[in-house]
Every structure is written in C-alpha cells, then in structure tokens.
Amino acid sequence: MNIDMSLHDDITDLETEIDRLAEAAERCRKIMVVARGAMATGSVVLAALVLGLLRSDALILLTSVTAILAGIAVFGSHRSTLQELKAKIAAQEARRSGLIDAMDLHVVKEA
C-alpha cells in the first residue's frame, strides 16, 4: 500500500509541475502576441514615415525602429522558451503516464 501512495504522490507532484509549466507557456504566448503587436505598430509607423503620411521626426523614426527590433528579439526569445516548455511538458506527461501504468489499476465493472 505504501508503494501506491508513493506513486500517487509522485503523480500529484508531476501534475503540479505540468500545471506550472503550462502557465509559463501561456505567459510566453501572451508576450509573443504583445511582441507581434510592437513589430506591427513599428512597421506601420515606419511605413507612414517613409510614405510621408507622418511628419518626419527623428524621435518617431527611432521609436518605430526600436519597436520593430525589440519585438523581433522578444518574440524570438519567447518562441524558443515556449518550445522548451512544450518539450518539458511532454516529458513530464510521459513520466506521469508511466507512473499511472505502474500502479496496476483494475477496472471496476458495473453490476
């Protein structure tokens, strides 16, 4: 019986870790959306400057280029982090599945 409780505790710990990793992955996705927005906004402003739709101003130009470059850097960084998190989640889920299989559970049939 002690072995089953130990397996149960291990499974519970893995599920907690999977939830923590899933929350981190969701934060990465949200940051990636913001980074895309920064890239898009910077691109639109830069295009407006080039087309003469906005008054030519060095600060606006610098800000739009900075938004594009920062968006690219943040997006790329979080994309690779997201991929790592997905791999960790898959590994933890496989470990959890193996522990559940090791529990030697029996199917209870209805009467």
CA distance to 26, 38, 74, 86, 98, per residue, from 31 (Å): 9, 11, 8, 16, 33
Quote the pTM value: 0.79
Does the residue 111 lie in any domain?
A: no
Say if 108 falls within a structural domain: no
Residue 26: inside a domain, yes or no?
yes
What is the number of structural domains in the chain? 1
Mean pLDDT of 72-76: 97
Whether residue 18 lies inside any domain: the answer is yes
Assigned domain for 107 exists: no
Any domain includes 106:
no
* pLDDT at residue 7, as a whole number: 82
pLDDT at 3 over 60: no
* Host domain of residue 64: 7-101
- Looking at the domain assignment, is residue 24 inside a domain? yes
Query: What was the pLDDT predicted at 108?
Result: 83
User: Has residue 110 been placed in a domain?
Assistant: no
What's the rounded Cα separation, in Å, for the pair 32 and 53? 29
Percent of the chain with pLDDT over 90: 74
Position 92 pLDDT exceeds 50: yes
* Residue 1, pLDDT score: 46
Mean pLDDT of 83-87: 97
Q: pLDDT tens for residues 23-69?
A: 999 999 999 999 999 999 999 999 999 999 999 899 999 999 999 99
Residues 6+ apart with CB under 8 A from 22: 89
